[in-house]
Amino acid sequence: MHNECWGVILAAGQGRRMAEATGGEAKQFLPYQGAPLWWHSARAMAASPLIHGLVFVFPEERLERARQEALELNAKESCGVPLRFAAGGERRQDSVRHALAALPEACRTVLIHDGARPFLRTALVTRLADALREGSVSGVIPGVPVTDTVKETDARGFVTRTPERATLRAVQTPQAFELAALREAHERADREGWNVTDDASLMERVGSPVLVVEGDRDNVKITNPQDLALLAEHKPSLPCCGYGYDVHAYGGNRPLMLGGVEIGGEYLIRAHSDGDVLLHALMDAVLGCFAGGDIGQLFPDNDPAFDNISSVVLLDQVLAKAAEAHVRLVHADLTVIAQKPKLAPRADAIRRNVARLLDLPLDHVAFKATTEEKLGFTGALQGIKAVALVTALRAER
């Protein structure tokens, strides 16, 4: 494949503004829920079905130690995508340039993200990558409306202008770009000695169009000492659960998919989408956690837009709705019922892929396959079915 989209996690800053509050530790390395901040960003980005790999940028003097930590974390809870590493530079733009040099030849688009934004949601990653893929622009960035009135001042502090607030956006990361255009902009900046605060500013300066799409107010950056309270903040939440059930008949023309893993073989599925019966049951279970309806309502089978669509893409949309409802998944228990094919050889791959898609630790996803002892329609090899039980925490409003 030669049209890959990769993510870059920038974790090479020195964090001098917060050194006193953190005991000298750079903010992106602060622990949060059992892992450094940069790892939370990485897992959220890798969970998007549009991301093919990640490049981590660490301080040069800490590169080998941080690389080993990343590999150890990935061994415990795999991101499910290839990982590469690069040493940071003196400036942010130098670190980005080093990361771009580490990308594979197959990469055509890239998302640049600050490792000190640990609250990134996968839905935002997918929204940016989709907008870049479907648009006619070189860059797409997330932004949120500015709520305070902003004033421009002169060197003495006197107001010179009040911009129209409706046109202003506070910009976040990740920022998505066509790789060739971004590389060319960085090469020019290096030749001409430019200093910029983000990659979008660089693209604007060379005249490349940059589109702003809806950001996420929760996607905040740990910047000042008072932001450390966000890492200890816990909203009251209540447990909830959802149940899902789905059935598909054999005898169609879709290859058998389970949990986003192609099973293959002689048993073809009759379906409008890709017919992943396990992910369909899982999506209904997730929707059940916040009374969000069912996949038949969200993705009707008479809509040509969903013809042969990947269930992984549909699951990403369901997970985005769950996030909007302040639902955090904590466990999934999944069962497939089929007389054939035998699923034991692919059980581990299915379980690992579902854990990656849900951004859950592996020991919080259970997968089982069973038969109905040759009874019923599954026993007669007429089809396959799946059930899913999801448990979650929902923040009180």
Q: What fold is seen in the domain 237-395?
A: 60s Ribosomal Protein L30; Chain: A; (3.30.1330)
Alpha-carbon distance of 172 to 243, in angstroms, equals 36
- Residue 174, preceding peptide bond in cis (omega within 30° of 0): yes
Alpha-carbon distance of 111 to 117, in angstroms, equals 14
Contacts of 307 (CB under 8 A, 6+ apart): 272, 273
What average pLDDT does this structure show over 31-43? 93
Q: For residue range 110-167, list pLDDT tens digits in order.
A: 999 999 999 999 999 999 999 998 878 999 999 999 888 999 999 999 999 999 988 9
Write down the domain spans for the chain. 4-232, 237-395
Question: Is residue 336 a contact partner of residue 320, using CB atoms and an 8 Å limit?
Answer: no
Phi then psi for residue 98, to 5 deg, are -65, -40
The pairing of beta strand 237-254 with beta strand 269-270: antiparallel
Question: Is residue 11 a contact partner of residue 66, using CB atoms and an 8 Å limit?
Answer: yes
Q: What fold is seen in the domain 4-232?
A: Spore Coat Polysaccharide Biosynthesis Protein SpsA; Chain A (3.90.550)
pLDDT at 23: 64
The terminus-to-terminus CA distance of the chain in angstroms comes to 45
Q: Give the pLDDT band of residue 97 (cuts 50, 70, 90).
A: very high
Alpha-helical segments (H) within the chain: 19-22, 37-46, 63-76, 92-101, 122-134, 179-192, 199-205, 229-232, 277-288, 295-298, 311-324, 347-358, 376-379
pLDDT at 143: 95
pLDDT at 182: 96
Q: For residue range 63-92, list pLDDT tens digits in order.
A: 999 999 999 999 998 999 999 999 999 999
Residue 15 has pLDDT above 60, yes or no: yes
Alpha-carbon distance of 322 to 314, in angstroms, equals 13
Residue 19 has pLDDT above 90, yes or no: no
What average pLDDT does this structure show over 297-325? 90
What pairs with residue 385 in β-bridges? 247, 337
Of all residues in the chain, the percent with pLDDT exceeding 70 is: 96
Q: Assign 3-class secondary structure to 240-281.
A: EEEEEEEEEEEEEEECCEECCEECCCCCCEECCCCCCHHHHH
Q: How many CB atoms lie within 10 A of CB 129?
A: 23
What average pLDDT does this structure show over 329-338? 96
Alpha-carbon distance of 36 to 69, in angstroms, equals 10
What average pLDDT does this structure show over 180-203? 93
